[in-house]
Structure 1
Amino acid sequence: MATTPILDQFLGSLGELVQNRDGGKLQDFLQIEPPLSEIYQQMIAELRQRYPPGSDSDTALQQRCEGLVPKTKGGSSWSAFPTFVRLYFSFMRDVNIENLLETYNLLKGLLNQCVLSLGDSQMGVVVLPTVLYLSKVLAKLAMGLDRRPELIAHILRMEGGSDQENFEKVTLVEKSANVVREAFIKCLTDRSGTPGPHAKPEGKRKGIYLMANLCLKLLFQCGKLRNAEQMFSSISAQSPPLAHFPASQRVTYLYYLGRYLFSNNLFYPAQIALQSAYDQCHRQALSQRNLILTYLIPCNIVMGRFPSQALLQRPEAQGLAEQFDPLCRLIVHGDYLAFREHLSVNSKSAQWFARKGILLTLRNRCEILVWRSFCRKVFIQGGYHGDPQAQAQRGPPPYLYLQKLLMATRWLQRKHNTQPSNGHVNGLAEGEHHGYGSQTIEHPADPEFTGLDDPQNVTKSDNDHEILKKYGDYLASDGYFDEAGNWQDNAPGNLIDGEPELDYQECEFNPYATSTYDDENDQSSLLMQEIESILASLLTQGLMRGYLTHRNPRFAIPGARLRGALPTGFPNVWQTIYAREKEDSHVPGWVKLPEPTATGAAALGGGGRVVNLSGARPVGNQ
């Protein structure tokens, strides 16, 4: 029988580490990432020679690992740990790094068993560093395969169609996140140490945010942000305050929390979380601070707070000025068509925003700010600002006729249609508008559907046989069931419902087509309705102040005598939103230290003063 001196020495060292409850050194011993040192190569050779793959060898190896576990006071043993060590040896012996999918499956099984070992109430904390180490390795492998799926595509095809369908439904990254979430739950629900949600972290609870940050990283990678909602709810209910944990864990957690809130349109709490992450991040961690600013800046832009040039010139803001500065200028300029063009699919800036996952948010949330700037500029140029010579009780308030907004909108549309092509403007004759959607909030056509409006591209097949060949099972099937439920044969090529009695060529089936207008006044009326709707939205959100009149369409600004028309009718966007949101500064998912409150006599008497009532008489006695 072959001797295993290296394996014997390795098992002896593991036993001492477990007995001393030294989890840090235990994690240092259980290495799996190549390149491994020579001592590990010798141990792997001994395993392959003495314990080759097979059930008998695994049983014998399991028996050797049983001696690592000390007996507890209750007489029970830590049964999950010997199985984990045996799987570790099996992994080292059988792993083939050329087969990445097999390596992933073996590593996931090893991590699962390590998480089971973590669940022990007394000894589980010993493997906490090992769980974190294996989770990081599994996450690194899963995200690497997710970025390059061609590396395992041939293996998935060999495994069969059903496995491939399951793989497409639940990716490797999501599977890894599910395993890490189990470790997070065991850390969060640990009952060792001081109980209560506001106690300092002890035992396995020290790993709450380590596992949470890794799980959130995987969920963001695979786009499963909904699965993070339960994590934040559990942390709010059971986690110790975030301030008790190291700065690196706080910054990472607040960064992912801010991104999650931003993706759910909770911009003010997202801004608080991201700002705190940026403030606590080390100044020399430029890449991390750059990543935080990538989401902190658009979060502020949505609320009307633009980045200063001093911020964009900082070392950690390198490359952000060329992305956000043009966007802010377009918002201030008020040209909604130029804004849409800047964030169109073919724009380089839009591609950068899309990679960061903020493109749709900027499109949907910033356009209303563009319209506010547009209305403000039209009011400055063509609005009535009030008569300073008039008495306070007389004279109309400042106002703007919406007809001027309509004319300015038409001017913007003509300004962006100044490049004729074969006598047409953007494929349309001068003065002509296509019938898809609104003229005010008109979006450019999708490139995949370019040319569908051109009548020359609409052709009709002369051979009905081609149509029947393609849609024959629907238009003219081999048979059908009549009203009595009996099967009736049908000659191929005959329409089951017979020839149509009506000519549908003159009917319009396009739900987005607009009606045919006799004059331009009808079109202007629809445009006026849309402008009124936009202004009503701005007034509802508090981004503009005043009222609208419909019969004689105009926007009026009452109460502008003291502050002026512009500050009254167009208040600062950030100050407006901040005044509304600051009343509730609670950030979901962020457990803070409890605020000190006055209790007892100090709360009632003020400052702990003592009142002597020994000489007081009963109420009602003289």
Structure 2
Amino acid sequence: MTMSFQGGSVLDRFFTGLAEIVRNRDGAKLQDFLQIEPPLPDVYAQMVDELRQQYPNGSPKEADLLRRCEGLVPKSAGGSAWTAFPTFMKLYFSFLRDVNIENLLETYDMLKALLNQCVIALGDGQFGVVVLPTVLYLSKVLAKLAMGLDRRPELVAHLLRIEGGPDQDESTEKVTLVEKSANVVREAFIKCLTDRSGTPGVHGKPEGKRAGIYLMANLCLKLLFQCGKLRNAEQMFASITAQSPPLKHFPASQRVTYLYYLGRYLLSNNLFFPAQIALQAAYDQCHRQAINQKRLILTYLITCNIILGRFPSMALLQRPESEGLADKFVPVCQLITRGDYIAFREHLTTNSPTTEWFARKGILLPLRNRCEIFVWRSLARKVFIHGGFHADTQGQAQRGPPPFLYLSKLEAAVRWLQSRHSSQSSLSAVSPFGATPNASADKSRFGSQTVSIGKDPDFYSLDGPPAANGSPNISLISKYSDYLCPDGFFDAMGQWQSNPARTLVDGTPNPDYSQYEIDPYAYEPDQDTNGPSPLMREIESILASLLTQGLMRGYLTHRNPRLAIPGARLRGALPTGFPNIWQTIHARESEDTGVPGWVQPPSTMAGSVALGGGGRVVNLSGARPVGVQ
């Protein structure tokens, strides 16, 4: 803060300085004047004392304060056109005079109202750009206060209960302070984005209020990520794509921050390839001394690359910004390469101590759900290397079967993994969070043979032996008493019959419920000794998924189940049947390199096509009439 007031009333000189700033349209100096964040210089304390003496809260003199603020705006022929600014200044002086920082919720409400009015002032087509730096400053202060209260909700919990009142509807979703702040900042973002000064769209440059597009967008995205309302960002990215100038015209700090949030948004929506492009650009453009920022970007960039089949190199993990990341990601990469799907699930299970960091960063589920298919691919590849038929490696035979793998060998490998983990769980070196349920999944008579899924708790009571002497099962009656023992019922003639004793209406229930087909576990699965086992069927489904995604190449035969790899004579069985994952995904995804939400300048090639090929002449003298063959 560089301003100072010497001589005379501090408030008078403050008004004089404000009038000169507005007349000169100096937005940066206006923001420098309008300070609100403590600790404030002593000159503001003097001005607050004068405000309380001359314009007390609730007195008729507050109208005089508003008239005095109206004098700050230059007069035009039709009177003052910027009516929102005097109201904003009146709120600013009221905020300084009345704010009580001990009451955080009241401070938040007053600050939000002040920012709301400043955003309204920003909408003026002639003078609005003057308050753009002030809008950004107030938005940052509001965001800091909201996120601080969000991290410590106990500070305002009692105030929120009082504010909600007894009539508050519990069924409606409560809007947090952070989300309320994001809604206000979004309004400022819209004002900047829809500014009509200069050339609009992708051909324009940051002029006027449009210079604040990404400043406001980045702050709004920060708040939306804080409160977990990423869906609300979808319209923001769509609006930016339609109306924003190219991102390259904005400063590097704004570009890096925006691409970081854009990449995280795309990652959360399972758009991993465009997310990788955005995060890679953010990492490349980030200043080399911004170690913490680069580490944050790298956390999500490595995640995207692993999901796309590209592991981080040791050279990358040895950089200063990668400190601590190798301990997190290298074990995941090793488990994927090993092909042990049970160990992979153990490592990324929800109650594993190693997953707290992944869950806190929001990348646990993408890694666990998207990378397990790579683990199965590694297992199939290892079994093929050691137990598959590789055909003639010299390429001399003109005829012969292609390389293939009997799926019974892959089934045996899966059963070996399950038995290995089952035996480890029975030893002293048991996992601290319990035995591995997936190790015994093949013993389940129902459902998956590789993923252990517990039985539906609604049918636990049906597992016990039939009740002796035909007496009713007490647990059944207590659980379904409203159905078995109602207080009344309609008889066969349609007459209502009371049942005050709550006796069994339909007699003693049959403990064998299989005839009623309400127990999904009542029937034994078909045991066809000549057909494939349930585990074999599941393995075939997994391999079919790999083939469909292009992560493996070949075809499956279901009679004497095999994986065949045709066309392997030129390149070999392994490169043909198990292509590089990253190269496969990149070749498929790179057909469209556009990233949703990232505005790029129009290419010259697209421009020449739009203009008819740059003025080229097309000779149509030999063209046939339409319909002539």
So what's the TM-score if we normalise by structure 2?
0.87
- Other-structure match for 1:503: 511
Range with greater deviation from structure 2 (292-301 or 9-18)? 9-18
Cα distance, 1:64 vs structure 2 = 1.7
Q: Deviations over 1:48-105 (max 9, x none)?
A: 2222221624322212211111124654421111111111111111111111111111
Q: Cα–Cα, structure 1 residues 601 and 556, in superposed 2: closer, same or farther, change >3 Å?
A: closer
* Counterparts of 2:574 and 2:102, CA distance in 1: 68
The one-letter amino acid of 1:437's match is G
**Is 1:388 the counterpart of 2:396 in the alignment?**
no
Q: 1:214 to 1:242 in 2, by over 3 A?
A: same
Change (3 A) 1:455 1:421: farther
**Hey, what does 1:37 align to over in structure 2?**
41
User: Which position in structure 1 is the counterpart of 2:502?
Assistant: 493
1:280 aligns with one of 274, 285, 296: 285
Give the SS at the match of 1:262. Answer: helix
Write the distance in 2 (CA, Å) between the matches of 1:21 and 1:261: 39
Give the letter for the 1:540 counterpart. Answer: T
Structure 1's consecutive aligned runs of 4 or more residues displaced over 6 angstroms after TM superposition are 422-432, 452-456, 462-475, 480-488
| SS of aligned partner of 2:604 | coil
> Structure 1 residues 441, 174: CA separation in 2 closer, same or farther (over 3 Å shift)?
same
Residue 176 (structure 1) aligned with residue 181 (structure 2): yes
Q: How far, CA to CA, are the matches of 1:5 and 1:13 in structure 2?
A: 12
Give 1:348 shift: 2.5
2:82 maps to 1:78: yes
SS in structure 2 at match of 1:197: helix
Equivalent position SS for 1:205: helix
Deviation at 1:414, TM superposition (A): 0.4
Does residue 580 of structure 1 match 2:588? yes
RMSD: 3.7
CA–CA separation in structure 2 for the residues paired with 1:86 and 1:213: 29
Deviation at 1:487, TM superposition (A): 7.7
Structure-2 separation of matches of 1:585 and 1:74: 53
Q: Within 1, Cα distance between the matches of 2:73 and 2:489? A: 73
The residue number in structure 1 matching 2:64 is 60
8 Å Cα contact 1:255/1:273 also seen in 2: yes
Q: Which residue of 2 aligns with 1:6?
A: 10
Q: Residue 392 of structure 1 contacts residue 561 of structure 1 at CA under 8 Å; is this kept in 2?
A: no
**What is the number of equivalent residue pairs in this alignment?**
600
Distance 1:383 1:228, change over 3 A: same
Q: Which residue of 1 aligns with 2:52?
A: 48
How far, CA to CA, are the matches of 2:80 and 2:377 in structure 1? 71
Q: What is the distance in 2 between the residues matched to 1:149 and 1:9?
A: 41
Output the CA distance in 1 between the equivalents of 2:341 and 2:573: 24
Partner of 2:579: 571
> CA shift at 1:34, angstroms?
0.9
* 8 Å Cα contact 2:335/2:344 also seen in 1: yes
Change (3 A) 1:308 1:147: same
Report 1:449-468 matches (<5 A): none
* Cα distance in 2, alignment partners of residues 78 and 459 from structure 1: 85
Tell me if structure 2 keeps the 8 A contact 1:184–1:212: yes
Question: What amino acid is the match of 2:575?
Answer: P
Is residue 186–residue 217 contact of structure 2 (8 Å, CA) maintained in 1? Answer: yes
Do the aligned partners of residues 427 and 514 (structure 1) sit closer, same or farther apart at CA in structure 2, a change above 3 Å counting? farther
**5+ residue gaps, structure 1:** 614-622
- After superposition, what is the alpha-carbon deviation per residue over 1:355-381, rounded to whole angstroms, capped at 9, x for unaligned? 111111111110011111010000001
Residue 273 of structure 2 corresponds to residue 265 of structure 1: no
Correspondent of 1:143 among 144, 147, 157: 147
Partners of 1:63 and 1:588 lie apart in 2 by 48
Residue 237 of structure 2 corresponds to 232
Are residues 429 and 408 of structure 1, via their aligned partners in 2, closer, same or farther at CA, if it must alter by over 3 Å?
Answer: closer
Conserved 8 A contact 1:188-1:238: yes
1:411 aligns with 2:421: no
Whether the 8 Å CA contact 1:421–1:427 is kept in 2: the answer is no
Deviations 1:333-354 (A, max 9, x none): 1100000000011223311111
Q: Distance in 2 between matches of 1:554 and 1:429?
A: 25
Residue aligning to 2:329: 324
Are positions 1:398 and 2:410 aligned together? Answer: no
SS for the counterpart of 1:418 is helix
What is the aligned partner in structure 2 of residue 94 from structure 1?
Answer: 98
Letter in 1 for 2:376: W
CA distance in 1, matches of 2:579, 2:462: 46
Aligned match of 1:616: none
Matched, 1:362 2:370: no
- Out of 253, 270, 281, the residue aligned to residue 248 of structure 1 is 253
Relative to structure 2, which stretch is displaced further, 515-524 or 164-173? Answer: 515-524
Asked if 2 retains the 8 angstrom alpha-carbon contact of 1:156 and 1:163, the reply is no
| 485-494 vs 63-72, which moves further | 485-494
Given that 2:467 and 2:473 are in contact with CA atoms closer than 8 Å, whether structure 1 keeps it comes out as: no
Identity %, equivalent residues: 67
Give 1:493 shift.
3.1
Q: Do 1:69 and 1:78's aligned partners in 2 also have CA atoms closer than 8 Å?
A: yes
Q: What residue in structure 2 maps to residue 211 of structure 1?
A: 216
Q: Which position in structure 2 is the counterpart of 1:106?
A: 110
For residues 498-555 of structure 1, the C-alpha deviation after alignment (integer angstroms, 9 at most, x for no partner) is: 43553345677564x5954687958961111111111111011110011111112100
Residues 492/18 of structure 1: CA separation in 2 closer, same or farther (3 Å cut):
farther
Query: Would the aligned equivalents of 1:517 and 1:523 in 2 still touch at CA under 8 Å?
Result: no
SS at match of 1:351: helix
Structure 2 alignment gaps of length 5 or more: 1-6, 620-629
**Pairwise CA distance, 1:4:** 9.0
Structure 1 residue 42, shift from structure 2 partner? 1.3
Match of 1:438 among 448, 452, 469: 448
Q: How far apart in 2 are the matches of 1:235 and 1:406?
A: 51
**Which moves more between the two structures, 179-188 or 8-17?**
8-17
Moved more, 342-351 or 484-493: 484-493
* 1:590 paired residue number: 598
CA deviation profile, 1:192-250 (whole Å, cap 9, x unmatched): 12334321110000000000001111111111111111111100110001010000000
Q: What is the aligned partner in structure 2 of residue 532 from structure 1? A: 540
Amino acid in structure 2 at the alignment position of 1:442 = S
2: CA distance between counterparts of 1:92 and 1:313?
51
- Asked if 2 retains the 8 angstrom alpha-carbon contact of 1:156 and 1:164, the reply is no
1:310 and 1:69 map into 2 onto residues whose CA distance is 59
Distance in 2 between the 1:483 and 1:61 partners? 83
Corresponding residue SS for 2:544? helix
Distance 1:542 1:429 in 2: 29
Provide Cα deviations, 1:415-474, integer angstroms capped at 9, x if missing partner: 11014659998699999824563112336x69x99xx89989x999x9999999998777
| Alpha-carbon distance in 2 for matches of 1:475, 1:55 | 72
2:626 corresponds in structure 1 to none
CA gap of 1:156–1:353, structure 2 versus 1, over 3 A, is same
